[in-house]
Structure 1
Amino acid sequence: MANLKSLAKDTAIYGLSSIVARFINYLLVPIQTVRFAASGGEYGIITNVYAYVSILIILLTFGMETTFFRFMSKEGEDPKKVYSTTLAMVMMTSLISTILVLLFLHPIASAAGYADHPEYIGVMYATVAIDAFMAIPFAYLRYLHKPQRFALLKVINILMNITLNILYLIVLPALKLNLFGIYDEQFTLDVAFVFYINLLCTIVTLLLLWKEWGTNSFRIEKATCKRMLTYTWPLLVMGLAGQLNQAASQILFPYLFDGSQDEAREQLGIYGACIKIAMIMVMITQAFRFAYEPFVFGKSKEKDNREMYAQAMKFYLIFTLLAFLVVMGYLDILKYVVGETYWEGLRVVPIVMAAEIMFGVFFNLSFWYKLTDRTIWGAYFSGIGAVVLITIDVLMIPSFSYMACAWAGFAAYATSMVLSYFIGQRYYPIAYPIKDMTVYLLIAILLFVGIQISNNLLMTWLAISVNTLLVGVFVAYLVKKDFPLSSIPVIGKKFKK
């Protein structure tokens, strides 16, 4: 129980920082979706470009975050050599690839559909390369169990980002000033500056991480490097395939949509804006991952580790189902996160959120092959999921537009999750509380149906009241069954008998 409390504490800190950062970042969504209307397609460009970013960050880190944690806690390995080697390898790949992209910028931009704006690709790639390098110092902070510093740096990055976005997208147009502070009646917004702002914020964060990377020797120890690469290449395949499940639809959409390029960007912008509402599930999964990865590798030698993994899975599912119900219950309020012209895409929210829950379960299940050094299985599962997603996208996007993207992700994560569970039980059996988890899932489904009926039949204020009661039913069952009020830190003592 003490170990689970430690995990919960770190998850809470990572989660709070992630929620605060994402909430601040969410403020960019209404700003950008209002300033860049759906009909213009500019937000579709942002969605498309950042889909490439998510794939590239996987390629440039090539699974070294997880590999770093594995080798830092592995018997016989020197942590200093592991950290130095990891930093040097990621820095080298990021630097070389950035030079190559800049040398061949125009043909690459043309292939991506941005021949007239190669700066989108150049600025985006430079940002990704720095982000990839920073992933290792941030992983080092997690290894040292310093969630407070980790959280502070992440929040600083987001605060700076939104401040500059507000200045560029709201303040300067209101004052009719251009970027040089000169009055300009004809000044128009350029979506490229959204990418320039991101690059600037990334550089500042890199400088703030100087203590974690700047004093390192950047020396590649050959034997350590070889062992790490042997372990990490399946993780690269797995990570790439897994990220394709999240980003491939946004990348493929402009090529598959049955309409003009402008229409494709408009539809993609609607999808990209509305899935931002569903990203609360990503926040929860990310917060859990930040705390859980070093926790699992650190506890791998303890006798009761499998029981802890089973309980962690159960509580992850419970709280993500609760988050799902809360978002769906208050969707009539949360929809104001995006501009009104994007609301037609709100129907993707429950599908994307359910898909993200399954991705989180898949992440929880993934440790059986990471702990047994069978990482190739992760590549298989994610690869099969990616094939499912791309197949559905290719077949369905021409007919069903962005709804096909949502269901493709759902099917892909479901496939990877189911395969990982059944094969994992053969190689690394864990007695997950399937019965309890199924009961929670069925209750959540019934309550979701009730929320949907309420949203469709009742006035907004009355629907929200009914939905609050329905969410309360789930909370009441949770308190009665698994989370008594007396177990809550600090205030829990007031409920003890």
Structure 2
Amino acid sequence: MLSFILVPLYTDPAVLSVEEYGRVSFIFAYFVLFNVVLAYGMETAFFRFFNKEEQQDKVTSTASLSLILSSLLLLAGAFLCRHQISALINIDLQYLNLVFVILLLDALVIIPFAWLRATAQPMKYAVIKILNVAINLGLNIFLLLYLKDLAHPDSGLAAIYKPDFEINYIFISNLIASGLTLAILLPFYAKLKFNFDMALWKKMMRYALPVLVAGIAYSVNETFDRILLEYLLPEDLADTQIGMYSACYKLALFMTLFATAFRLGIEPYFFSHSKTANPQKNYATILEYFVALGALIFLGVVIFADVLKPFIIRSEAYYEAMWIVPFILLANFCLGIYHNLSVWYKITDRTAYGAYISILGALVTLGLNYMLIPSMGFKGSAIATLSAYAMMMLLSFYFGRKHYPIPYNLKKIGLYLGVSILFSFVFFYNYRGNYGIGITMLIVFLGLAFSLEKKTLKQLLKRN
């Protein structure tokens, strides 16, 4: 959500140029990869064993100590090799030092936040997350917009103002917000029984390592296109293309936010209800609702993309990349469906399948990007992203039917998907800007959804 809120600020030409925003997006692409490595699947393993083991305190303590020790060791080693890493991944050392500290702070709150979710404390979880966003957002606005004007020679603020320091200010804001979030969650560690169970840790690691592999593959699918744009395009074009692509990519966050919020709420439910009578029926219903709502969001954002873009992307210099919007929205929709389908391998302890599927997705991402970027630029990256997530979704469904059959209503799901995809692509690439046609399509889709869900809606209204 934070990256979405900050897009209007970062794409303001008075704050960052297109090239500078491309550089920030390039660095954040590595953030995703580093975060996955530091978490190494322990969050998912924590959920699984927290609901499986009788001694939940031991699970919490073992997972927490594991992440504390591994984070300190990995980042200490990275700091010692920072000059070599800086040269290898083409990130200036001044930014890389800040990145390392932020990564450590974020790693130390993984299990505290997971514990809040596992113990059904959504309000506290949400308040802390929102506070993190508010602090980060407030500091970004202050440092990028107001500090320069307030930093008079006789002002105390003059000591912290540096010209041409905007990218540093972005990461400093992130660092302070992450530090305060950890400070708020320190009572979790104060109450923690520091009891490390080696036998339990080995079992958790066997469960977690395939998740780590899947996470690395996911980070390749999600962000490596920016890194490949940097390496495969001419140096004078790369940052500009990354900036345009990253800005227009943010319009897909309407879908990402929906899918992420849905996953955060439903993942603990999948585990806690896995031993109830016939959980497969509930899992099937959950996916139907997700697809119905996701299809509506997909179609709505595509139709009104040109209305939304001036509020999110503040400079027309980025609009050349609007072509990617339907592809990236649909890609994130497929990813959301994949996360819902992945319930089968998580609750049956077949997490290796998740790793295999994600690796295949990463190979598709890498292969298509290498093939398409030199001739198509960011358009090739959008096509590669959609291809990878669509393939992952289909593979998860295929293997799930074999190992943990769930009675999905394929006709209804296929109808929602088919109609929303057809309407979205026909409108955007043939009737873009004709809102009479777009709104008609939206009404037709809503009518279809109402006719299919009429019985369920009546039941909900009766309960209320």
Name the TM-score, length of structure 1 as normaliser. 0.87
CA distance in 2, matches of 1:425, 1:335: 40
Name the structure 1 match of 2:383: 407
The reply to whether residue 120 of structure 1 matches residue 98 of structure 2 is no
Return the offset for 1:40.
Answer: 5.1
Name the structure 1 match of 2:35: 57
Return the offset for 1:202.
Answer: 0.3
Which AA in structure 1 matches 2:317?
T
Name the structure 1 match of 2:448: 477
* Counterpart mapping for 1:6-405 below 5 A: 22=1, 25-35=3-13, 41-74=19-52, 76-114=53-91, 117-175=92-150, 177=152, 180-182=156-158, 187-257=163-233, 259-260=234-235, 262-336=236-310, 337-338=312-313, 339-405=315-381
CA deviations over 1:408-461 (Å, ceiling 9, x no partner): 1111111211111112111111111001111112221343245326753x5xxx
CA distance in 1, matches of 2:298, 2:213: 30
Return the offset for 1:27.
Answer: 3.2
| 8 Å contact from structure 1 (residues 231, 375) kept in 2 | yes
Return the offset for 1:246.
Answer: 0.3
* 1:36–1:243 Cα change, 3 Å: farther
Return the offset for 1:26.
Answer: 2.8
CA distance in 2, matches of 1:43, 1:398: 21
Question: In the comparison of the two structures, how many residue pairs are matched?
Answer: 461
CA distance in 2, matches of 1:486, 1:370: 31
| 8 Å contact from structure 2 (residues 9, 15) kept in 1 | no
* Counterpart mapping for 1:479-494 below 5 A: 479-482=450-453, 492=461
* 1:36–1:111 Cα change, 3 Å: farther
Which AA in structure 2 matches 1:253?
L
Which AA in structure 2 matches 1:79?
Q
| 8 Å contact from structure 1 (residues 318, 440) kept in 2 | yes
* 1:180–1:119 Cα change, 3 Å: farther
| 8 Å contact from structure 1 (residues 36, 42) kept in 2 | no
CA distance in 2, matches of 1:111, 1:43: 21
Return the offset for 1:476.
Answer: 2.5
* 1:185–1:224 Cα change, 3 Å: closer
Compare 373-382 and 185-194 and name the one that shifted more.
185-194
**Structure 2 residue matching 1:300: 3-state secondary structure:** coil
Structure 2 residues without counterparts, runs of 5 or longer: none
| 8 Å contact from structure 1 (residues 38, 342) kept in 2 | no
Return the offset for 1:186.
Answer: 8.9
Return the offset for 1:176.
Answer: 6.1
Structure 1 residues without counterparts, runs of 5 or longer: 1-21
Which AA in structure 2 matches 1:359?
L
Name the structure 2 match of 1:6: none
Q: Percent identity?
A: 32
Return the offset for 1:35.
Answer: 4.1
* 1:333–1:240 Cα change, 3 Å: same
| 8 Å contact from structure 2 (residues 229, 241) kept in 1 | no
**Structure 1 residue matching 2:382: 3-state secondary structure:** helix
**Structure 1 residue matching 2:12: 3-state secondary structure:** helix
CA distance in 2, matches of 1:450, 1:349: 13
CA deviations over 1:277-296 (Å, ceiling 9, x no partner): 11111111111111111101
CA deviations over 1:74-110 (Å, ceiling 9, x no partner): 1x44100000000110111111111111111111111
Return the offset for 1:323.
Answer: 0.6
CA distance in 2, matches of 1:243, 1:184: 35
| 8 Å contact from structure 2 (residues 18, 318) kept in 1 | no
Which AA in structure 1 matches 2:224?
A
Return the offset for 1:242.
Answer: 1.6
Which AA in structure 2 matches 1:149?
K
RMSD: 2.4
